[in-house]
Amino acid sequence: MFRKYGILGILMILFAQINFFLKIQPFANWYFPIIWGGYILVVDAIVYRLKKNSLLSNKPKKFAFLILMSSFFWWIFEFANKMTENWGYSGLSGFGSETVANAFGAISFATVLPAVFETTELIEAVHLFDHTKLHKKHRVTKRLLHLLFGIGILTFLLPLAFPRYFFPLVWVAFFFLLDPINFMHRQPSIIQHLRDRKLKTPLSLAIGGLICGFFWEFWNYWAIPKWTYTIPFVGFLKIFEMPILGYLGYPVFAWELFSMYYFVKTLHIEERLLYKEVA
């Protein structure tokens, strides 16, 4: 069964797509949450149709948590961009005030994590990588975890200190910082698949991130409020507004979001355990 909200999602996408040309206000200014809200509804409905289980239908609390964390996570990247100055926004004057523009940003950012997770769920639902494995098992030692965490600290600090030269490291820093912590707390992590050899989750996330990246850039290209890039050294051969090498960052970005989400979830679990101990 295809969920009814999937039909609503299709209509939202079609309306936003047509309105790129008609530019009916205020909908033209609010294209991002409209079209990405539609995308999320459609993908979730397809996932439910394939496996009778989906985030929105069966895990509404997780879905709501993804929305909240998504907006919070992206504001972190906006802060990092204050240092690197890799992207900027145009067309925000149509909102009339900075408060409304910030509300648009917060609502738009709230769709990023659900979009990536829903797309990943879709890829997993078609069993594309079910039998894809590493050739051999690798040990995950304390030394390896410490090394990855050290790389995380370095990749976090270098873009802040030398943004012109190390700006791409923003898109891997939180993965290296947080994925080892998730592994140590027995939360889902990318590192754990070095040990169990299963590549379904890492590859599904990577492809999901790339698919979302393509549509982010595709739909942004036609929009009124939009972002553009200023990227040193590699700002050539653009596909829409994004230089072609920039698309290489989307798969790792999906890993980073995955690590950030489960790190926050780890904090939530520890808070509950501490509360039980005190009680």
In this predicted structure, the answer to whether residue 277 has a pLDDT above a threshold of 90 is no
Per-position b or e across 105-115, b if 16+ CB within 10 A of its CB: bebbbbbbbbb
Name the pLDDT band for 279 (thresholds 50, 70, 90): very low
Taking only the tens place, the pLDDT of each residue in 122-176 is: 999 999 999 999 989 999 999 999 999 999 999 999 999 999 999 999 999 999 9
Sequence ranges of the domains in the chain: 4-278
φ, ψ (nearest 5 deg) of residue 167: -55, -35
pTM of the model: 0.93
Report the distance separating Cα 115 and Cα 257, nearest Å. 11
Element (H, E) at 88: strand 87-90
Question: pLDDT tens for residues 41-69?
Answer: 999 999 999 999 999 999 999 999 999 99
Check pLDDT > 70 for residue 121: yes
